[in-house]
């Protein structure tokens, strides 16, 4: 279908008689009710030759016929078919953001009742800690890329509307803006899902890391994310951030460590990243939370038969695994939160590897380029034997939809799998100088 001999208007408003919102111009074939507005947006979207709209995005039959006709056009075109989020479910229409990715709920007497969680989520803990710190540190500015609810920054927006920025779905711009704010003396905190932060790698490199600016990246949905599936898994952030000079990477293991990591990040003069999953926070590790000190690991549970060297959230299943082995096999396994994937605790890790006791490195991240890779790089650089070291991380494949606990079990990062792996290492140690499979 060609439209010939038509002059391109200089702008949208040059068309006379443009229909008002909700009205339309129809094809001569009235059976299809298609709206056909011939617009050329030279100044706005010069590549769009034809505009089709505005039509009901819920009318599947109409859209199908329209798309079939539109496919026959040999020039660029745009179909404008707005929809209503939550259509067909009134309570979702009334609260579309809450029902974008809702937690379990029931409907009682026509009203939605959400199932209360046993523990707060990592997102909620981050949100509360950031608001608390911002009350005393006026330099803090929070930035999101159209995800105030998902990242927990909606509470920050309510408390400090003049220090909150939503750039829309534009992670690259969010990071570039944060760099400019940091250059001006502020302390921008960017909360972005791990998988979406990948879109902004160029800006992280050139605008933040290269300038050594104190931007804090709070990486939500790190690791496997459950029902959102492979597209949302955050399994590569350590790998693409670790090579950047001057970058500090942290993984808290409990709510108190989340706040401590934020406090430490705010004290740095360069970029830092804190990763945490889409999950409930574990119970307190017990006792006061030691402040974060650059590179320093935290021993959570002592033991002499082997070590579970964890990065952040894998501490919880590691503690359960150690407790299980203590009861069933009388083995005393130490559990350590490395806290830092960069820079590493060189002395602490060297001592662990040189102990000749089995060391199982656990992380909710891809094996390639992750925390475990950093441990092996350190050992290689210092000429250490790693026959007693094994990596337990996400495999080299995409993980399908399931609940997060199911996914962790699938990849061997649940308590039972961790216990079985470290027990096998203890019972069948690799001879010194040989390579253990990982």
Q: Tell me whether residue 138 is one of the annotated catalytic residues.
A: no
- Tell me the C-alpha distance between 330 and 323, whole Å: 9
Q: Taking CA 281 as the corner, what is the angle to CA 280 and CA 283, rounded to the nearest 5 degrees?
A: 125
Q: Are 310 and 160 in contact (CB under 8 A)?
A: no
The tokens for 191 are 């909360």
Strands (E) across 294-433 are located at: 298-301, 306-310, 333-337, 340-342, 359-366, 389-394
Q: Tell me whether residue 33 is one of the annotated catalytic residues.
A: no
- Tell me the C-alpha distance between 200 and 170, whole Å: 9
The tokens for 100 are 């974008």
The tokens for 130 are 């950031």
The tokens for 79 are 């179909």
Catalytic residue selected from 8, 14, 85, 135: 85
In degrees rounded to 5, what are phi and psi of residue 215?
A: -100, 135
Catalytic residue selected from 34, 171, 254, 316: 171
In degrees rounded to 5, what are phi and psi of residue 258?
A: -60, -50
Q: Tell me whether residue 135 is one of the annotated catalytic residues.
A: no
Catalytic residue selected from 65, 155, 199, 332: 199
* DSSP-assigned letters across all residues of 26-39: B-S-TTS--B-B--
149 class by beta-carbon count within 10 Å (0-12 exposed, 13-18 middle, 19+ buried): middle
Give Cα separations from 396 to 203, 234, 280 (angstroms). Answer: 27, 14, 26
The tokens for 239 are 């790998």
Sorted by sequence, the CB contacts under 8 Å of residue 212 that are 6+ apart come out as 246, 269, 270, 271
Among all residues, which ones are annotated catalytic? Answer: 85, 171, 199
């Amino acid at each position: 279908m060609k439209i010939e001999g038509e002059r391109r208007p200089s702008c949208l408003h040059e068309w006379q008689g443009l229909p008002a919102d909700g009205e339309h111009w129809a094809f001569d074939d009235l059976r299809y009710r298609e709206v056909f507005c011939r617009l050329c947006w030279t100044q706005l979207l010069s590549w769009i030759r034809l505009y089709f709209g505005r039509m009901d995005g819920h009318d599947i039959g109409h859209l199908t016929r329209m798309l079939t006709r539109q496919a026959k056009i040999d020039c660029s075109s745009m179909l404008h078919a707005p929809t209503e989020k939550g259509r067909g479910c009134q309570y979702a229409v009334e609260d579309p953001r809450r029902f974008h990715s809702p937690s379990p709920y029931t409907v009682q007497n026509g009203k939605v009742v959400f199932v209360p969680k046993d523990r707060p989520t990592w997102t909620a803990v981050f949100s509360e800690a950031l608001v608390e710190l911002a009350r005393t540190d006026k330099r803090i500015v929070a930035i999101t890329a159209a995800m105030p609810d998902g990242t927990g920054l909606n509470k920050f927006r309510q408390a400090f509307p003049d220090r909150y920025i939503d750039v829309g779905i534009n992670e690259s711009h969010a990071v570039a803006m944060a760099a400019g704010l940091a250059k001006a003396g502020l302390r921008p905190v960017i909360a972005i899902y791990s998988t979406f932060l990948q879109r902004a790698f160029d800006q992280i490199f050139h605008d933040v890391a290269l300038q050594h600016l104190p931007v804090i990246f709070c990486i939500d949905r790190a690791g496997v994310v459950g029902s959102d599936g492979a597209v949302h898994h955050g399994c590569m952030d350590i790998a693409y951030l670790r090579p950047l000079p001057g970058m500090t990477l942290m993984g808290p293991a409990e709510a108190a460590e989340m706040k401590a990591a934020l406090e430490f990040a705010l004290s740095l003069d360069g970029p830092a990243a804190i990763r945490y999953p889409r999950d409930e926070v574990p119970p307190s590790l017990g006792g006061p939370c030691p402040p974060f000190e650059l590179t320093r690991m935290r021993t959570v549970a002592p033991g002499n038969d082997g070590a579970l060297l964890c990065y952040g959230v894998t501490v919880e299943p590691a503690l359960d695994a150690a407790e299980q082995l203590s009861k069933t096999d009388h083995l005393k396994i130490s559990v350590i939160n490395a806290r830092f994937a960069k820079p590493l605790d060189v002395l602490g890790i060297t001592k662990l590897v040189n102990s000749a006791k089995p060391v199982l490195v656990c992380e909710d991240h891809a094996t390639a380029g992750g925390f475990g890779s950093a441990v092996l790089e350190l050992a290689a650089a210092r000429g250490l034997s790693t026959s007693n070291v094994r990596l337990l991380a996400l495999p080299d494949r995409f993980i399908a939809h399931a609940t997060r606990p199911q996914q962790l079990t699938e990849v061997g990062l649940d308590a039972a799998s961790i216990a079985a792996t470290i027990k096998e290492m203890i019972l069948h140690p690799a001879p010194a100088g040989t390579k253990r499979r990982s």
